[in-house]
Structure 1
């Protein structure tokens, strides 16, 4: 009985201490509060979403295997007068060099999805660097200079991965809406899922060889336009400088710049 009393007392004291800590942290000056948060967390995150007042979103298509549906996708984008961002790996670029050129000729851009699509967390810094540099050189040789946007395979990242990418001047990109097209749930499910979740600054993940991706986009793009959204390339959505990324949400935000509207 005594041990139960002590356990309850300890739990009460811990709850009280944590509560006081949260209260004090919330009432610190903004600068000191920020310093405390930095000291207690060194976790780095990619850009998941962009904080913007404008109704701009980016559709991104990842590709490692196959290009069966890519010509139709390009036609759909052309009909809707939009440009998007593709993330390709080395084997795709080597298998479909002419398609890569056609994509860029149509005004789209290609981001880096590594050369061999490995689990980057299991690699050394040097191996991660080689994956990025080798694939970026392949992209450059095929279609010319492209934005240094990088999406890690499997959405897998760590401080090591992000720091290597940063040292090579890459922005590491994730997504805020997963279309789940890779599960092949049907075009209606994909369209409804994105339509219900969409908001300014969202980054949508899709795949160039998804079975229902083209069908979904054919319906989705007019819907987005009717809602007042503008679909832009990722390089036109993300901030290039004077920004920070919230560690708990992955939202990329502008540092305070009076008079600017993003």
Structure 2
């Protein structure tokens, strides 16, 4: 009888180890799925625009596709203003052209997202070409981010349901925006500040550009950051917004 008990105890110990390991594995899978696939619904994947949340968290995002003069001043501004969370969506062909700048973003502690390889609107391409462009972008940007990007902002913000499906199959969440600074129009520093401050609410994803074509962003950023903080906002990563609340999404034709 004693021998039977020893065998059963050993079996139970082994089973306990298996159960604990399974528990942690299941928890990891849940967190990963909850983080990056929460926007895949019964009707298919959705893009993330903003979170419905009562907490005054917002995400600063920057598209980069051209030039080498504007990025470093923007990174310096974020550092000086002690903004620890921001996401830079990089055109991979730009990253190849300016590898030291792409690496600087990662070294500064900011998230690198995929902005495609060629800067062409995905909604004008067939599925194969879109898939290949995303994959090429992933290959290039993984080197600079030192991990595989999990966020995608299609060039020009252009996508359709087919593009959503392609991104989802590649384990990517498409990130749009809910507040557009319109800095790419170069409307003047004061107007960029106004565009952001008048529209921003809790959970918003704010769009800026760090390409050379956006000449006034670096001058508008300090005041925007200061005023948002004065109004009680904090700066979160896109991924934190995604996990912190239910998404506010729009139907894509």
TM-score normalized by structure 2? 0.77
Tell me which residue corresponds to 2:197: 195
Aligned residue among 180, 192, 195 for 1:178: 180
Q: How many angstroms apart in 2 are the aligned matches of 1:145 and 1:152?
A: 19
Compute the displacement of 1:126 (Å). 1.8
Q: How many angstroms apart in 2 are the aligned matches of 1:208 and 1:61?
A: 6
**Residue 230 (structure 2) pairs with residue 229 (structure 1):** no
Tell me which residue corresponds to 1:18: none
Q: How many residues align?
A: 209
Q: How many angstroms apart in 2 are the aligned matches of 1:163 and 1:139?
A: 21
Compute the displacement of 1:247 (Å). 3.7
Alignment of 1:1-262 (within 5 A): 45-82=46-83, 83-209=85-211, 210-239=214-243, 246-247=249-250
Distance 1:51 1:243, change over 3 A: closer
Give yes or no for contact 2:121–2:155 (8 Å, CA) kept in 1: yes
Give yes or no for contact 1:111–1:146 (8 Å, CA) kept in 2: no
Superposed CA deviations along residues 172-228 of structure 1, whole A, max 9, x for unmatched, are 111101111010001110001111111011011110021000000011111111111
Q: SS where residue 164 of structure 2 aligns?
A: helix
Distance 1:108 1:146, change over 3 A: farther
Give yes or no for contact 2:58–2:234 (8 Å, CA) kept in 1: yes
Tell me which residue corresponds to 1:255: none
Q: How many angstroms apart in 2 are the aligned matches of 1:244 and 1:180?
A: 23
Compute the displacement of 1:120 (Å). 1.0
Compute the displacement of 1:95 (Å). 1.2
Listed as ranges, the gaps of 5+ residues in structure 1 are: 1-37, 250-262
Superposed CA deviations along residues 141-170 of structure 1, whole A, max 9, x for unmatched, are 223114410011112111100000001111
Q: SS where residue 239 of structure 1 aligns?
A: helix
Compute the displacement of 1:102 (Å). 1.0
Compute the displacement of 1:50 (Å). 1.1
Tell me which residue corresponds to 2:4: none
Compute the displacement of 1:233 (Å). 2.0
TM-score normalized by structure 1? 0.74
Q: What is the Cα-based RMSD across aligned positions, in Å?
A: 2.2
Q: How many angstroms apart in 1 are the aligned matches of 2:247 and 2:80?
A: 36
Distance 1:172 1:78, change over 3 A: same
Compute the displacement of 1:43 (Å). 8.1
Listed as ranges, the gaps of 5+ residues in structure 2 are: 1-40
